[in-house]
């Protein structure tokens, strides 16, 4: 039997993950050589270039959203995982406490300090700063800190009575000086070439100056210095450049038979606002035999307006009146990413960095494989 190439309809069907009331179907991708007899699904870089596209939905420094269309889940997931765990950032790693008479314990205070996201000049952060490695000889630790691998910070706060406070004042922030310790109280101490890369707007500083670190009362004091190092999210979440980096698959809603009148309004309420729109049945549609619109001219019908806003709650599948009229699914090769940066990188730059990182990893391993054969 000669093989017929798949129709466009068939190719479209293969891309959909079916979502039923209680079950899901067609979960795995099938675009491998040998899966469909007579069809070639081998890797073709030009075919990939033609079929792959990216669309932006939002591009702010702290939040970017974009779609990768025409790529496999294994690659999309690699990008997501790299963004979370493998893109380096600078964070507080060591805290040297000189004096801490506040009620918050040294280790808890240190942990809070570590989690504060910092920003700084991009060139300095990404190009100038290198990894710090703990020397194998423990006695050499103090000789391992350089301007290119360690950033020094200080926090010196002392709480005192405020003599100028009005009598009867009860607000601690007015009654005392430095009752609250904020991230903005952390002082950057540049060393060596750091003043060249991190000065003015490029200085190392907390992304959000209003993060509350501790509360003090008169007589209490926090005096400490800190070392920041570059690290990755797989070591500690504080090094992750993103608050979240996630993707979801594009929802597909297919209305197979007309949903009209009051049913259409109820149908629209089964979805988040904006997903389903109501349109009037036109004269032409009503005249068409077998369309299901006969004699319904002027009535409202449900149409899919914006499936991307859907949460795929399956609510519409619970109602008897929609049975057999609607099919839900998700597009297997359409990934809607949401990347929220913590501030050290631009959100879109994190993704680009992740792609570059994957390339570098593959490149390094290729060298390793060649080396292994030799």
Partner 1 sequence: MPRAKAKKEEPVEAGSDVDMEEAPTSHQPENTDDMSVDQDDNDEEEGFEEDEEDEEDDVQRVRLLPGSTPTAASFEFLNEGHTLGNALRYIIMKNPDVEFCAYAIPHPSEAKMNVRIQTFEGTTAIQALQKGLQDLQELCDIVTDKFIDARERYAATTSS
Using CB under 8 A, which of 66, 188, 197, 335 touches partner 1? Answer: 66
Per CB under 8 A, does 131 bind partner 1? Answer: yes
Smallest separation (angstroms) from partner 1 to the CB of 294: 42
Smallest separation (angstroms) from partner 1 to the CB of 49: 5
Per CB under 8 A, does 75 bind partner 1? Answer: yes
Per CB under 8 A, does 359 bind partner 1? Answer: yes
Return the bridge partners of 154, or none. 187, 225
Which two structure tokens, joined as six digits, stand for 220?
């209490």
Which segment (8-16, 75-83, 171-179, 291-299) binds partner 1 by CB under 8 A? 75-83
Could you count the other beta carbons within 10 Å of the beta carbon of residue 16? 19
The closest alpha carbon to 31, from 3, 60, 72, belongs to 72
Collapse the DSSP code of 81 into the 3-class scheme (helix H, G, I; strand E, B; otherwise coil) and give the result.
helix
Residue closer to partner 1, measured from CB, 135 or 219? 135
Which two structure tokens, joined as six digits, stand for 153?
């910070």
Smallest separation (angstroms) from partner 1 to the CB of 220: 36
Smallest separation (angstroms) from partner 1 to the CB of 117: 19
Q: x/- string (CB under 8 A) for partner 1, residues 81-100?
A: xx--xx-x------------
Residue closer to partner 1, measured from CB, 4 or 133? 133
Which segment (37-45, 189-197, 200-208, 264-272) binds partner 1 by CB under 8 A? 37-45
Element housing 57 (H / E): strand 53-60
Using CB under 8 A, which of 8, 22, 43, 289 touches partner 1? Answer: 43
Counting beta carbons within 10 angstroms of the beta carbon of residue 354, is it exposed (0 to 12), middle (13 to 18) or buried (19 or more)? buried
Query: Please, are residues 317 and 253 in contact by the beta-carbon 8 Å criterion?
Result: no
Collapse the DSSP code of 184 into the 3-class scheme (helix H, G, I; strand E, B; otherwise coil) and give the result.
helix
Using CB under 8 A, which of 203, 232, 286, 305 touches partner 1? Answer: 232
By CB under 8 A, what part of segment 139-198 binds partner 1? Answer: none
Could you count the other beta carbons within 10 Å of the beta carbon of residue 369? 10
Concatenating the DSSP letter of every residue in 223-287 gives EEEEEEEEE-TTT-GGG-SEEEEEEEEEEEEEE-S--BHHHHHHHHHTS-TTSEEEEEPPHHHHH
Collapse the DSSP code of 94 into the 3-class scheme (helix H, G, I; strand E, B; otherwise coil) and give the result.
strand
Smallest separation (angstroms) from partner 1 to the CB of 23: 25
Residues that bind partner 1 (CB under 8 A): 31-34, 40-43, 45, 48-49, 52-56, 59, 66, 68, 71-72, 74-75, 77-79, 81-82, 85-86, 88, 130-134, 136, 230-232, 235, 348, 351-352, 355-356, 358-359, 361-366, 368-373
């Amino acid at each position: 039997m000669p093989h017929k190439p798949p129709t466009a309809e068939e190719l479209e069907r293969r891309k959909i993950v079916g979502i039923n009331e209680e079950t899901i179907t067609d979960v795995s991708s099938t675009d491998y050589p040998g899966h469909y007899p007579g069809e070639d699904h081998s890797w073709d870089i030009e075919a990939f270039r033609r079929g792959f596209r990216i669309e932006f939905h939002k591009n702010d420094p702290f939040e970017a959203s974009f779609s990768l269309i025409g790529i496999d889940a294994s690659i999309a997931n690699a990008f997501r995982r790299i963004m979370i765990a493998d893109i380096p950032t600078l964070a507080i790693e060591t805290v040297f406490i000189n004096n801490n008479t506040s009620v918050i314990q040294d280790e808890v205070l240190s942990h809070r300090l570590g989690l504060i996201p910092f920003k700084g000049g991009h060139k300095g952060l990404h190009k100038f700063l290198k990894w710090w490695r703990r020397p194998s000889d423990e006695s050499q630790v103090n000789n391992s800190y350089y301007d290119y691998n360690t950033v020094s910070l200080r926090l010196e706060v002392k709480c005192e009575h405020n003599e100028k406070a009005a009598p009867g004042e009860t607000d601690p922030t007015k009654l005392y000086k430095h009752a609250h310790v904020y991230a903005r109280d952390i002082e950057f101490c540049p060393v060596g070439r750091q003043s060249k890369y991190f000065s003015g707007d490029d200085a190392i500083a907390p992304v959000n100056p209003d993060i509350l670190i501790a509360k003090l009362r008169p007589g209490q004091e926090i005096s400490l210095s800190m070392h920041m190092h570059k690290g990755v999210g797989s070591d500690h979440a504080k090094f992750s450049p993103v608050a979240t980096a996630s993707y979801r698959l594009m929802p597909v809603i297919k209305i197979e038979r007309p949903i009209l009148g009051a049913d259409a309004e109820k149908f629209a309420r089964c979805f988040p606002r904006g997903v389903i729109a109501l349109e009037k049945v036109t004269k032409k549609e009503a005249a068409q035999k077998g369309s299901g619109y006969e004699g319904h001219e002027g009535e409202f019908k449900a149409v899919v307006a914006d499936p991307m806003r859907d949460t795929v709650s399956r609510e519409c599948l619970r109602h008897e009146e929609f049975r057999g009229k609607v099919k839900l699914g998700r597009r297997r090769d359409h990934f809607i990413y949401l990347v929220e940066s913590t501030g050290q990188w631009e959100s879109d730059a994190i993704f680009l960095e992740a792609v570059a990182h994957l390339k570098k990893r593959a490149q390094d391993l290729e060298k390793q494989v060649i080396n292994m054969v030799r």
